[in-house]
Amino acid sequence: MHRNASLPQLKTGVSGASLPAAPAPCPAASADVCAAEMLRRNPYEGTLLVCDFDRTLVDFDAGERLCDELAPELTSLLSSLQMPANFVPVTNTVLSEMQRRGVSRDRLVSCLREMGREVPLAVQRMLQWSARRGMETVVLSDCNSVFISHILTGARLNTLVRHVITNQASFQRVAPPPPASAAADDGDGGGGAVVEPAVPAAAARPPRVPSGFGSGWLFRSSSGSGLSSSTSAGAGKPPAAPAVAHRLVIEPRHDHRACGSHGCSLCPANLCKGAELAALRASAPRARRVVYCGDGANDLCPCLGLGPQDVVLARAGHDLERLIAQRAAAAAADPGVRRVAAAVHVWHSHDELYRLVQQHAT
């Protein structure tokens, strides 16, 4: 908040009449001229750095990595899905099963922040470099807000990213399970979710559970698993009150059940990266160039919307590089095929990614 009006004026020894007048604000007609002058002074401000998260800024898929740490036998449920699949329902099922087995909110958050220690050093330097030069850095990901925010916080990078565009997620309080006798009557061994007051209403909808999942029947813990927590009360002692539990629930960025399809066959139903990038660019008129860093099949759609002045940095050996090459070959034979018009460069390591961002930021 500016408090200059309430501060006492300093005596300068110069009369007010001789003070230079403040520069006039740019009129609306010359807004483009003002923007051009700002870009001349700092050309980096005209660049929008857009980065995918999983396997781009980090070397892992956050959901799979979390499963590897807390419930390894569930990892295959996520790794078996292929784009353009909607990961949200299955991820919610996995997170619900983790909570049922006793994985607490604190343990999940702690694990995510530890994962932040694995962010490559070159990525840390790249984000620091872009922030120092006034570039607007955006994460555009089909992950979720809780995973990304805690991983970036663990890496101490959260203040360097201007926006995170992803599926919203929040922790919901889970009601204690009913007594054993009642659970046996209704056949449900888990408590229902109760939304905490601080959770937005949009996050209160229960996640959809895909066919074949639910009720914990698919997830049978071995007797030696450390994730299944069950305690028995001592003889003659009343059972202790159950601890409050929380379940992480992910909401789709685009809810096709409420809003209908976004109409993009290249993207999953919950998020069209191309539409998100177009909206982002419209809201940032000073952004003359987009540098897009990605690796996956769902990064093709936003790349197709870029122009010749933009740059795509595709990870070598991943789906985005392959799909761009396929489009280019098909367009050579059939001009009607839509291809990526932006300049495309391939990176093999995060050190190379950092160098390419520096090279093409202006």
Q: Which of 52, 61, 299, 310 is catalytic?
A: 52
pTM, 2 dp = 0.73
Structural domains present in the chain: 41-208+242-360 (3.40.50.1000)
Span 212-232, mean pLDDT? 39
Please tell me whether 255 is known to bind a ligand.
no
72-95 exposure pattern, b = at least 16 Cβ within 10 A, e = fewer: eebbebbeeeebbebbbbbbbbbb
Instruction: Specify which residues 346 forms β-bridges with.
Output: 314
The pLDDT tens digits of the residues spanning 237-251 come to 665 555 678 999 999
DSSP structure class, residue 169: E
Largest CA distance in the chain: 91
DSSP structure class, residue 246: E
DSSP structure class, residue 243: P
The pLDDT tens digits of the residues spanning 102-122 come to 999 999 999 999 999 999 999
Please tell me whether 185 is known to bind a ligand.
no
Query: For residue 19, what are the CA distances in angstroms to 3, 16, 129, 190, 308?
Result: 21, 5, 39, 74, 48
The single-letter code of the amino acid at 165 is: I
| Local confidence band at 216 (pLDDT 50, 70, 90 cut-offs) | very low
52 a catalytic residue: yes
Please state whether beta strands 245-251 and 311-315 pair in parallel, antiparallel, or not at all (unpaired): unpaired
The single-letter code of the amino acid at 17 is: A
**Which residue did the predictor score with more confidence, 92 or 11?**
92
**Which residue did the predictor score with more confidence, 260 or 9?**
260
311 CB neighbour count, 10 Å cutoff: 22
Strongest mean pLDDT among 8-22, 64-78, 79-93, 195-209: 64-78
Q: Which of 32, 54, 334, 351 is catalytic?
A: 54
Please tell me whether 295 is known to bind a ligand.
yes
Contacts of 279 (CB under 8 A, 6+ apart): none
54 a catalytic residue: yes
